[in-house]
């Protein structure tokens, strides 16, 4: 559990960072979760408040407006967000996916243009890979970016894009050479405030993560300067994606473990107070055995994820191990949350009980960030 980690000697600076993240999620997010769920999006100001609290771009160097931290800081934010049940706020994607793309592949000018404003929350980001016709098969994207003089003309449709209604800087996966598969893919940053031909489609209705503005995006001859390409040359996008996706998968695995731990904590509390047949539910052996299994699996998952986290910090996390972490932890998350919900009986099915939300939020973890079938493909290829 998070509290235990603190007690067991989380480094002092990290423990302080955790406390401030916890305060932020408790004060600025938890009270609004139900309304955000109804509205299908979080308040725009929560981004700027998160910026003021030092929770945006924590792992970016200070010279680019970040806090000079590392993946441990991002992980703390994910854990504290899960603890507060504020799953709609797409901060981990902004911090842990888009910022690193700009930092690793952007030019000095691009870093200075975007990262400081991402750290304040003035800029909210998204990454647009998936299209109506293709998700797992990323090389088959059909959005095109045609070079015309010193501009690209981007045309195509994207769907399921996290932060889609809010983002004003979008990393678009497009084909600069539509005849090629992987070699034709490039990452191009689109600043939407000035983008003619850019349109946001529906904020999609989902079975969980209701406050997350997962959206359709349309690009119709959107002109951006060629200097918005990430990387020195066209055609590097697929390679860039492949080298950053393990980090994205770790974000999902960290979320999975945090959700399992929260589900177990909520359930332990519940089964101690709810009675049936004259005794607390925890006095039934089945309850204790189920929770014992859940706790064991969550502990194994945490140990594995801590190990992978260290590899992220060392720069040694390989594609297969990240894939193992993503598929296994999200599978276990779904199983554990389901077992926990069962112990709530009918109350577990009621929206007012946070366990029901953990259950609906869990399902997509096996799908996005690369489906769990694709994870097994990646592991299988390395055998």
Q: Hey, which residues are catalytic here?
A: 248
Q: How far is CA 196 from the centre of its chain?
A: 28
Indicate whether 243 belongs to the interface with ligand FAD (CB under 6 A): no
Q: Please say whether the beta carbons of 167 and 181 come within 8 A.
A: no
Asked if residue 207 binds ligand FAD (CB under 6 A), the reply is: no
Q: State both tokens at 365.
A: 């973890």
Q: Are 258 and 336 in contact (CB under 8 A)?
A: no
Give CA 94 to chain center in angstroms: 8
Shortest Å distance, C-beta 132 to ligand FAD: 8
HSE toward the beta carbon, residue 369, CA cutoff 13 A? 31
Binding segment (CB under 6 A) for ligand FAD, from list 21-29, 179-187, 295-303, 365-373: 365-373
Please select the residue that binds ligand FAD; options are 377, 380, 381, 382, rule is CB under 6 A.
377
135 forms part of the interface with ligand FAD (CB under 6 A): yes
Q: Which stretch binds ligand FAD (CB under 6 A): 176-184, 206-214, 215-223, 338-346?
A: 206-214
The residue nearest ligand FAD at its CB is: 135
Round to whole Å and give the CA distance between 8 and 38: 39
Stretch of 65-73, 130-138, 192-200, 219-227 lying at the interface with ligand FAD (CB under 6 A): 130-138
* Rounded CA separation 254/30 (Å): 20
161 binds ligand FAD (CB under 6 A): yes
From the list 156-164, 183-191, 225-233, 281-289, the region that binds ligand FAD by CB under 6 A is 156-164
Cβ distance to ligand FAD smaller for residue 139 or 371 = 371
Please say whether the beta carbons of 203 and 29 come within 8 A. no
User: For ligand FAD, how many residues bind (rule: CB under 6 A)?
Assistant: 21
Contact predicate 145/107, CB 8 Å: no
Q: Smallest gap, in angstroms, from Cβ of residue 160 to ligand FAD?
A: 4
Q: Are 168 and 124 in contact (CB under 8 A)?
A: yes
Instruction: Give the contact letters, 68-107, x = binds to ligand FAD (CB under 6 A), - = no.
Output: ----------------------------------------
Calculate ∠ Cα 7-12-15, nearest 5°. Answer: 60
90, 132 Cβ separation under 8 angstroms: no
Q: Site residues (CB under 6 A) for ligand FAD?
A: 126-130, 135-136, 160-162, 206, 209, 214, 364, 367-368, 370-371, 373-374, 377
């Amino acid at each position: 559990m998070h509290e235990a980690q603190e007690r067991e000697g989380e480094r002092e600076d990290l423990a302080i960072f955790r406390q401030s993240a916890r305060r932020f999620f408790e004060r600025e997010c938890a009270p609004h979760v139900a309304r955000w769920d109804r509205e299908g999006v979080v308040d725009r100001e929560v981004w700027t408040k998160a910026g003021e609290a030092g929770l945006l771009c924590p792992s970016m160097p200070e010279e680019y407006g970040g806090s000079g931290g590392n993946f441990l800081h991002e992980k703390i934010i994910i854990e504290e967000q899960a603890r507060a049940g504020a799953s709609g706020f797409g901060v981990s994607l902004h911090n842990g996916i888009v910022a690193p793309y700009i930092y690793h592949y952007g030019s000095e000018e691009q870093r200075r243009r975007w990262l400081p404003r991402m750290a304040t929350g003035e800029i909210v980001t998204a990454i647009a890979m998936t299209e109506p016709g293709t998700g797992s098969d990323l090389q088959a994207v059909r959005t095109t970016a045609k070079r015309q003089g010193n501009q690209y003309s981007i045309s195509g449709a994207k769907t399921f894009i996290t932060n889609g209604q809010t983002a004003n800087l979008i990393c678009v996966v497009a084909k600069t050479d539509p005849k090629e598969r992987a070699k034709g893919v490039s990452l191009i940053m689109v600043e939407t405030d000035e983008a003619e031909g850019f349109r946001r489609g529906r904020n999609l209705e989902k079975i969980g993560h209701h406050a997350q503005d997962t959206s359709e995006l349309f690009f119709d001859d959107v002109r951006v300067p060629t200097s918005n390409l990430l990387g020195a040359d066209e055609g590097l996008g697929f390679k860039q994606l492949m080298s950053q996706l393990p980090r994205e998968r770790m974000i999902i695995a960290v979320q999975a473990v945090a959700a399992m731990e929260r589900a177990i904590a909520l359930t332990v509390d519940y089964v101690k107070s709810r009675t049936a047949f004259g005794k607390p539910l925890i006095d039934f052996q089945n309850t204790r055995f189920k929770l014992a299994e859940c706790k064991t699996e969550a502990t194994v998952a945490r140990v594995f994820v801590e190990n992978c986290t260290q590899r992220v910090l060392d720069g040694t996390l390989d594609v297969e191990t990240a894939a193992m972490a993503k598929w296994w932890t999200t599978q276990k998350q779904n199983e554990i949350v389901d077992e926990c919900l069962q112990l709530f009986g009918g109350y577990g099915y009621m929206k007012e009980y946070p366990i029901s939300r953990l259950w609906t939020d869990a399902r997509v973890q096996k799908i996005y960030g690369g489906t769990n079938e694709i994870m097994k493909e990646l592991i299988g290829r390395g055998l």
